[in-house]
Amino acid sequence: MFSCKTSSCCFQRFVRAILLVNSFNDILAEATVFKNKDALSPHFIPESFPHREKEIEAIMRSVSPALKGERPRNLFVYGKTGTGKTTCAKKVMNEFNAMKRKAAMAYMNCRIYNSRYRILFRLVSEFVPEHAKTGFGLSFLYEKLLDWIEADGKNVVIILDEIDTVKDLDNLVYTFTRSNDDLKGGSLSMLGISNKISFKDRLDPRSKSALYESELVFPPYNTQQLQTILAHRAKQGFSEGVVAESAVNLAAAIVSQETGDARYALKLLQKAGDVANDTKTGRVTDREVEAARKIVDEDIAVEAISTLPEHQQLVLYGVSGVSLSGSKYSRLAENNKDFMLMGEAYDAYRESCSKFARQARSSRWFKEYLNELQLLGLVSTTDSGKGVRGRSTLVKINYPPTRVKEIVDHLLAPSVE
């Protein structure tokens, strides 16, 4: 005889087996709250773009000389993550290329194409693919690109998204700006996109002087603007009557209080829809948004840390370790017990470098890494105030330190010698 416990377990497995789908048709026939899930993706380019009309017009005016056979000025677009920079630039590019003039725009993700050679190779692959063969040198690719531009006097604008991640940025900027001196007809201009308004500080004075650029800053979205954007996308992405107005308002409020990142807001709403599907509620309410928040926060942390430069990952690893073991400052302070001294954080970073067989950078570089991590919301810093001799900067990790260490361990452990 089976015990009741065993019988119950077997019965549950039997029920689960019955509920398993037998074909793709079963999956496709399942009810869903979505009408067009792609409309909730941050990569989706909507026909109308609430609260970015002025910025889109500014970009259009900046590149429009190319459509008249003239060379546009270089344009640099700045703003925090999730402020619509990339989507607006792509929207302008699509409309620009649809004009079918002697002009072209091309998009380049510099996290993938992160060197002058890779960018030139990608451009040649797009415009003159017959010359895009591995083994050709940089000068060959450069000449073929210029030959294509000169052929009928094209005016080309290259969108360089996250331009600050290009390893040999100075060489790239110098090459592109000086290319117009080598061209007998047509032109080449840049539309650079960056989260870092100070990235040009890395450039050689000669490159800076040749830029001849204009600038555009995208401000963060406020709660009301996020509500409008989410309501607009929800109407496109969900079936009618599925999303409660309070759910849209809650998602907007959560994101505006934390980052103002529209990509995060869209991901939150999309994940709330997934929760509604999984639980078969058929509705997206405040409850689904709260459940989605935990999932999205984890996804965002993994994505953010995974795309960081190696030394910023090492800084996070070190700060997480101190947070777990307890800092000297936390044992002394009555308030701000989650913080640690800047010196402790730097020592921990150096230990992380040693663990993963990397050469530690100077304290000046360490402070730069911290500033970048703070902009991304991964760490917080504050002044120690009274009670610490000489005053100091305090550092705090903003994500669960155990999880941060796990992520960085996974990313860097294979390279340990």
Does residue 193 sit in the same domain as residue 273? Answer: no
CA distance 282 to 275: 10
Does residue 314 sit in the same domain as residue 255? Answer: no
Quick one: pLDDT at residue 15?
43
Does residue 70 sit in the same domain as residue 199? Answer: yes
Single-letter amino acid code for the residue at 192: G
Structure-block tokens of residue 129: 């693919």
Does residue 103 sit in the same domain as residue 146? Answer: yes
Does residue 109 sit in the same domain as residue 209? Answer: yes
189, 71 contact by CB (below 8 A): yes
Does residue 68 sit in the same domain as residue 150? Answer: yes
CA distance 323 to 403: 12
Handedness of CA 280, 283, 287, 293 (dihedral sign): positive
**Residue 189 sits in a domain of what CATH number?**
3.40.50.300
Under DSSP, is residue 147 helix (H, G, I), strand (E, B) or coil? helix
Tokens 């402070």 belong to residue: 367
* Total domains present in the chain: 3
Does residue 363 sit in the same domain as residue 263? Answer: no
Structure-block tokens of residue 230: 């989410």
Quick one: pLDDT at residue 181?
92
Full domain range(s) for residue 174: 53-217
Q: Which of residues 264, 280, 306 is at a domain's end?
A: 306
Instruction: Please name the helix (run of DSSP H) or strand (run of DSSP E) that holds residue 104, with its range, or none.
Output: strand 103-109
For β-strands 213-217 and 340-341, DSSP reports them as unpaired
CA distance 122 to 236: 34
For β-strands 74-78 and 187-194, DSSP reports them as parallel
Does residue 318 sit in the same domain as residue 282? Answer: no
Q: Return per-residue pLDDT of the chain as tens, 417 residues.
A: 334 444 444 445 434 444 565 678 877 777 899 999 999 998 899 988 999 999 999 999 999 999 999 999 999 999 988 899 999 999 999 999 999 899 999 999 998 999 999 999 999 999 999 988 877 899 999 999 999 999 999 999 999 999 988 989 999 999 999 999 999 999 999 999 998 877 787 788 877 777 778 899 999 999 999 999 999 999 999 999 999 999 999 999 999 887 788 998 999 999 999 999 999 999 999 999 999 998 887 777 787 788 888 999 999 999 999 999 887 765 555 555 678 888 999 999 999 999 999 999 999 999 989 988 887 778 888 876 655 555 678 899 988 889 899 899 988 876 444
Does residue 251 sit in the same domain as residue 198? Answer: no
